[in-house]
Structure 1
Amino acid sequence: MMDFDYVIVGAGSAGCVLANRLTADGRHRVLLLEAGPKDWNPMIHIPVGYSTTLKDPSVNWLYETEPDPGSMDRVHVWPRGKVLGGSSSINGLLYVRGQMADYDNWAQLGATGWSSSDVLPYFRRAEANERLSDDLHGTDGPLNVSDATTRHPVSDAVVEAGVQAGLPFNDDVNGEVQDGISYFQLTVKNGRRWSTAQGYLKPALNRRNLHVETEAHVASILFDGKRATGVTYRQDGRTVTAMARREVILCGGAVNSPQLLEVNGIGDPEVLKAAGIDVRHALPGVGKNLQDHFVVSVQFRLKPGTITVNQLSKGWRVMVEALKYAATRKGLLTLSAAHVQAYWRSRPGLSGPDVQYHILPATVNIPKYRDTGVWELEDESGLTIAPCQLRPESRGTIHVKSPDPFAAPAIRPNYLADPIDQRTIVEGVKFASVIAAQDALKPWMEHRIDPADGAMGDDEILSWVRERGSTIYHPVGTCRMGQASDTGAVVDPQGRVHGLSGLRVVDASVMPRLVSGNTNAPTIMIAEKISDSILADAKAEAAA
């Protein structure tokens, strides 16, 4: 048995932040538990290695959804990080905050203290931006943010085509307005992935008050009445108990945090009883309010002789790129999951963009009937322009199937259930072809290959989207923040679980609504902000 002030469950994007901030003044003893291994896998640190880690079970939970009615009853693979750094160690390295209006909306929904003016200081505190330095960006935080060091002529042409199609060029989509097109900024430093394990955890590892355990899968939360007092976890075939004098903090993400609550009897009584779990504390919102970005890849064939990522990733060319990376930390191996980002409004009257595009000079063979998560680059040259709806109205659930803490939960994303989601993604697909038809891309473009070139009505486009679309790995909302009077809220605006003490949730699951962009940067911000709340509570109790 071990004794600590705080036990953090999950060393991912949020957990590594908390481990750093809670141990910084030396007053608190912290145990950080990670079910996966240390981040020794070299594919984690080479940026383009995401293409390997996204399907590697040694560092990835590789969850599978239930058959999804909105996408032809297909099963979708959901990669989630199972390694120090969590999903920040396996993701596509894209740094996007979303629109400031997203956070004002959180505050309006009951997450008091999470408006745009409230969260901006924490985005700035986290950030070490190599190019941008102003009132909106930080330059000395733990999370390095940089521009891509390698560009591609087709991607340059896409940016020009976007401007020709009516999108403004916007070299800071994390600034005052999101509308426009530009290259992504990346969580990369000196040509290497800059995960929260690198930026936050590694500098704290020599602190005597921080203890880190890997390959440690938490099985249960211990309670004394309504107070969480510790956890048990499995490691090397044995069960270990760790006590928390102050708090147990769940940082497992949108899948694992509600799962752990439910297997410990915290959740909707009907769900718990159906799974054979005794009710410890009724909290109907656990596992509900699931939101995710649903993306579909509109793919184009480029003219013969064009060298894209397809060719650079194969044969002698990839060997040349490997040597270039070793010598200069530039080239193919520094690339992220997408080169170019675009944000577009699908209809008049919107206060901000409702469609995001991930654009890459590459095409892949996408499985037609099942999202296996294993997509292979094609041999021929191609371009992908992939829209997703930024603020989906559809809601899904994540619930346990049994009392087994090591069994995967039932994930039901419920994609495209809402008519607004259907209409928006259809318009997004049509505008992808508008971008591709601009003069800037004509020297490169051959024809559209998926969906097949030719006129399509809205119903045909929607059917194609249901058949071909999938997750872009942004699940949130399953332990959402809100006031105690809100029966669907799981935690308060400080991450404290309603009706219990000594237990918090700090990760993407607490988001009331999905942000208008990729979720890693907002998750880091959440942990930065709640770390201040945790330390303030400790200080207040010490003074009482």
Structure 2
Amino acid sequence: MDQNTYETDRDENPATPHHELRDEFDFIVCGAGSSGSVVAARLAECGTARVLLLEAGGDDAAESVMNPAQWPLNLGTGRDWGFVGEPAPELYDRRLPLSMGKGLGGGSSINVMVWARGHKEDWNHFAAEANDDAWGYESVLGYYRRIEDWRGTPDPVRRGGGGPVYVAQPRSPQPVAQALLNAASAMGIPVFDTPNGEMMESAGGASIAELRIRNGRRESIFGSYVRPMMARRNLTVVTDALVTRLIFDGKRVRGVHALVDGQRRQFTARCETVLSLGAINTPKVLMQSGIGPKDELKAHGIAVVQHLPGVGRNHQDHLAFGCTWAYRKPEGVGGGGCEATLYWKSDSRLVQPDILQCQLEFAVPSPIETGLHTPDHGWTMFTGLAQPKSRGRLRLSGAEPQDPILIEPNSLSEPEDMAAALVAVEQCRELGNSETFTPLVERETAPGAQDRSGMIEFIRRSAVTYWHQSCTAKMGRDSMSVVDNQLKVYGIDGIRIADSSIMPRITTGNTMAPCVVIGERAADLIRIQHGLLHSPSVDPSPIR
């Protein structure tokens, strides 16, 4: 690409009226979530490429987005795709709500704001699956040093300063958060100063959480990466733009079809198109465009462009079970309500933690099927499966954009998951019922003392998800892989995938931070291929 073709203008960049949108760009990025925002910003910062960022949802100008305490108010609204799983046989055919952010920032605009970087073994697994050390932990540490503006104790090997992503721990955590750390210590679980340093290289531990909150306001990934660049005239951001299909020239993607304010539009990309629509919509667009399992595509009258049986398979999510206690008196809620976290093993022989405990400083109602009462004032520990073995799948219900995707989570279908869930709930109950909580807690309200069969019943009826849908277009080298180590779709040119769907296996903990790494890695690969200059601050190399 000619480095002088397009001029960067840092003056005001007013919103482009949709009817004045040009049709051709150098790069099209589909989805303004935690990966797509990164890709678009990193490509646009070069100043030489015209970048189009398409987002199906609206803007992020709402108090429910910016006020950390109001994040639950976004669930079930227009800022949430509002997916619902198909009946899950192991959950008594319950249909799990599967929220996903819709709008600028994606999930990072409606989530609980926890910054969790994944365990060392997660990234080493990525590298092994991709046969590429650039996805390994040592390399990923370099990306995190680039990404972070960490406001805690300096750690030049593991932490970054001055990056786009502000990360900090709450200054004055609520008493219930400190009680969790004290209870963990009394049980022999190590307590760390931060969950994203040595703790995620070890068997696990407990720590005060790291959050994406600055001066009492949420910071989304879109806000951190894209908003500071909105003055650049080579970057165009379009909301209310639903990507429906890919445009092909043989087996090369040339752009996308989209509905912009309900009007059909076509946009072409001279260089590449990037799908960052998330682990539900990315495989949907692929399949409805003719990339996926050939038998399923043919069943819906979709012409097969590339048979890739792994599209929509390998669906993973973090399953959780809410254990709740009633307070003696009302207690405060800090930040977004999650100020402490814990990771541990259900079996000491495991190589990494498989239990995730996320403490919420308010009482979360149990699913109605449990028949359990929720106290007016209390706290809930979402204890869950950090490394679930069950695998779900996505299926098409039709060939048109308005036809919903069918999500089969297949939760608790593997016996190892029930075994880990039983350990997780018992560990959670031991923590919450320990003496350290006595000054705060009046009684346990869920699940209460149960025999084994009763606890299994509770787990099946109470299970919900963390809304961390992942792995449905996985990176790898086997027959079920969809993208290679460079995030290119097998058999198709001109397109990459950059979102949680490329994970071979779900990461340990909340998925926002790993999605930022995926976005950074995708942008690096694209910039190298097309000769785009890197900014001077980029240093993905590991410190040794």
- Going from structure 1 to structure 2, the CA distance change for 1:514 and 1:111 (only over 3 Å counts) comes to farther
- Secondary structure of residue in 2 paired with 1:232: strand
- Secondary structure of residue in 2 paired with 1:365: coil
- Which of 14, 24, 34 lines up with 1:3 in the alignment? 24
1:464 matches 2:486:
no
1:308 matches 2:304:
no
- 1:314 is aligned to none
Compute the TM-score of the two structures, normalised by the length of structure 1.
0.90
- Secondary structure of residue in 1 paired with 2:168: strand
Matched letter for residue 148 of structure 2: E
1:268 matches 2:293:
yes
Which stretches in structure 1 are left out of the alignment for 5+ residues?
A: 310-331
1:131 matches 2:148:
no
Matched letter for residue 391 of structure 2: R
1:431-463 superposed Cα distances (whole Å, 9 cap, x missing partner) = 111112322112233222111x33x23332122
Q: In structure 1, how many angstroms separate the alpha carbons of the residues matched to 2:455 and 2:131? A: 37
Q: In structure 1, how many angstroms separate the alpha carbons of the residues matched to 2:298 and 2:486? A: 29
**Contact conserved, 2:57 with 2:239, CA < 8 A, in 1?**
yes
- 2:336 is aligned to 336
1:420 matches 2:416:
yes
Aligned positions of 1:344-423 closer than 5 A: 344-369=344-369, 380-423=376-419
Q: In structure 2, how many angstroms separate the alpha carbons of the residues matched to 1:496 and 1:153? A: 48
- 2:431 is aligned to 435
1:349-379 superposed Cα distances (whole Å, 9 cap, x missing partner) = 12222111011232132232399xxx9x955
* More off after superposition, 5-14 vs 380-389: 380-389
Q: In structure 2, how many angstroms separate the alpha carbons of the residues matched to 1:231 and 1:200? A: 24
1:292-334 superposed Cα distances (whole Å, 9 cap, x missing partner) = 000000112232xx1125xxxxxxxxxxxxxxxxxxxxxx4x6
**Contact conserved, 2:364 with 2:379, CA < 8 A, in 1?**
no
- 2:13 is aligned to none
1:278 matches 2:303:
yes
- Secondary structure of residue in 2 paired with 1:298: strand
Q: In structure 2, how many angstroms separate the alpha carbons of the residues matched to 1:30 and 1:271? A: 33
- Secondary structure of residue in 2 paired with 1:440: helix
- 1:539 is aligned to 531
Q: In structure 1, how many angstroms separate the alpha carbons of the residues matched to 2:351 and 2:365? A: 36
Aligned positions of 1:319-330 closer than 5 A: none
1:249 matches 2:271:
no
Which stretches in structure 2 are left out of the alignment for 5+ residues?
A: 1-21, 534-544
**Contact conserved, 1:74 with 1:370, CA < 8 A, in 2?**
no
1:65 matches 2:85:
yes
Q: In structure 2, how many angstroms separate the alpha carbons of the residues matched to 1:61 and 1:275? A: 23
- 2:196 is aligned to 174
- 1:328 is aligned to none
- 1:194 is aligned to 219
- Going from structure 1 to structure 2, the CA distance change for 1:11 and 1:361 (only over 3 Å counts) comes to closer
Aligned positions of 1:37-116 closer than 5 A: 37-56=58-77, 58-112=78-132, 113-116=134-137
**Contact conserved, 1:226 with 1:501, CA < 8 A, in 2?**
yes
- Secondary structure of residue in 2 paired with 1:27: coil
Percent of residue pairs bearing the same amino acid type: 34
Compute the TM-score of the two structures, normalised by the length of structure 2.
0.90
1:452-493 superposed Cα distances (whole Å, 9 cap, x missing partner) = x33x2333212211101111111110010012xx21110111
**Contact conserved, 1:103 with 1:119, CA < 8 A, in 2?**
yes
- Secondary structure of residue in 2 paired with 1:356: strand
The offset of 1:129, in angstroms, is 0.8
- TM-align CA RMSD: 1.9
- Secondary structure of residue in 2 paired with 1:466: helix
- Going from structure 1 to structure 2, the CA distance change for 1:124 and 1:206 (only over 3 Å counts) comes to same
Q: In structure 2, how many angstroms separate the alpha carbons of the residues matched to 1:487 and 1:46? A: 45
1:158-206 superposed Cα distances (whole Å, 9 cap, x missing partner) = 2211211221111222112332112111011221111111100101111
Matched letter for residue 116 of structure 1: Y
Q: In structure 1, how many angstroms separate the alpha carbons of the residues matched to 2:131 and 2:239? A: 33
- 1:316 is aligned to none
Matched letter for residue 303 of structure 2: D
Q: In structure 1, how many angstroms separate the alpha carbons of the residues matched to 2:251 and 2:74? A: 39
The offset of 1:154, in angstroms, is 2.4
The offset of 1:540, in angstroms, is 9.1
Matched letter for residue 505 of structure 2: R
Q: In structure 1, how many angstroms separate the alpha carbons of the residues matched to 2:176 and 2:33? A: 34
Q: In structure 1, how many angstroms separate the alpha carbons of the residues matched to 2:175 and 2:528? A: 51
Q: In structure 1, how many angstroms separate the alpha carbons of the residues matched to 2:361 and 2:524? A: 42
Q: In structure 2, how many angstroms separate the alpha carbons of the residues matched to 1:30 and 1:290? A: 30
Matched letter for residue 330 of structure 2: I
**Contact conserved, 1:360 with 1:383, CA < 8 A, in 2?**
yes
